[in-house]
Amino acid sequence: MALAPGLPITHASILRIAVPIVLSNMSEPLIGVVNTAVMGRLPGPHYIGGVAVGALIFSFLFWGFGFLRLSTGGLSAQATGAGDSRELVTLLFRSLILALAIGLCLLAAGPWAGPLAVKLMGGSALVQAEAQTYFSYRIWAAPAALTNFAIMGWFIGQGRSTTAFITQLFLNLTNMTLSAALVLGAGLATAGVGLAVVTAEYAAVLLGLFFAARRLMEMHERPGWAYIFQRDRFVSLISANGDIMIRTLCLVFAFAWFVSRGARQGDLIVATNAVVLNLFEVSAYMIDGFAYAAEALVGQAIGARNRDRFRRAVGLTSLWAGVLGLLCALIILLFGGQLAALMTLDPAVRASAAHYLWWAALATVLGTVCFQMDGIFTGAMATRDMRNMMVVSLAIYMAAWWALEQPFGNHGLWAALNIFFIARGLTFAGRLGAIEKRLFGTG
């Protein structure tokens, strides 16, 4: 839902946008939980490790192009706030064209990119073999995955969170159901997990395009192709996407480095980190519901040139994100052991995970600021600031890793990740005032 410019931003209006996204986002990392649980029923930790490494590679490949969701969401919100339906419609077409083109390029690069990525990630021969199997299937989902990013961003920017919720939930539930059926029922092991993702992504594209077509009919806008391909508009979109791409690649590199360094400590550690990271990721995706609400409401306030609505959107969405972050951290501390036990039958992995649960709880609290600020800055389309702050934070993270991993092992690795979140939060907070001044002037 997009709030009319005269309507106040309230706790209720924020919850109406955020709660559907929280619910759908809860199912996103549950894919990882289900996949880990399914693979944990197979003999040996290398199955869990292989899928974890393979999934991280696709986080790098796909979320490296996550700018398609972020930029589309921010621009969609600002067009909605400005009441520019023509720009809103053409934005969808531009984003879909860009998503399809990039997806086809990734698919074409798969045969050589897959083996190289698996080798760079490291791990035992067994882990690398399973990761390569996973990659060879999931790469076929590239065009669909990026198209889904564009569609989701378009709806989220308009505040149409229920539509986004239905599409994302359909994708994730289909993925989880097929993973369990193909691995445990059909005995396809890692190949089954990869095939499940591909099928779910294309099914979700069809549903998302149906919702988009229905929305376009409601808007009664028919911009010509000449306007859709207008050079300055495309250049502006690609420029913003370039900044967000660098930011996202840095973010995914940080997590890829984390998993890669864990893999070099043995199959037990890579499986342990996969289990504990899944708990953190469930929390992060839930908290992102309020970041998405901030993205929509901040962008709409900027489109309407309303400073008071901007401040209220920032303040109330951040308050709710903080409450949810603390609640998630508490759940990890109290019930993390039981949740980890659901993901693996291996007693060694269960015992090892118990030593790292408090790190995931701490990361949830520290990461809340980062997730929320991502939404605020995306709604403001402050893409250059997002890029610059992420580069600085990544440098701090790498310095912390260099100093801490060797003396403290996997605990040092987790400490470096949490320092990364601290750096991101501080750099974001330091720029927020300047962003408001740039957008609205002094006052």
Share of the chain above pLDDT 70, in %: 92
Contact of 322 with 290, CB cutoff 8 Å? no
Name the residue among 360, 350, 375, 292 with its Cα closest to residue 328: 360
pLDDT at 132 over 90: no
Contact of 208 with 152, CB cutoff 8 Å? yes
Q: Rounded to whole angstroms, what are the CA distances from 427 to 49, 158, 168, 388, 433?
A: 33, 28, 31, 9, 12
pLDDT at 2 over 70: no
pTM value surpassing 0.85: no
Tens of pLDDT, residue by residue over 208-228, are 999 999 998 888 777 677 777
Q: Which two tokens stand for residue 365?
A: 């609290």
Q: Which two tokens stand for residue 108?
A: 């074409």
Rounded mean pLDDT, 83-105:
88
pLDDT at 120 over 80: no
pLDDT at 356 over 90: yes
Predicted local distance difference test score (pLDDT) of residue 28: 59
Predicted local distance difference test score (pLDDT) of residue 43: 65
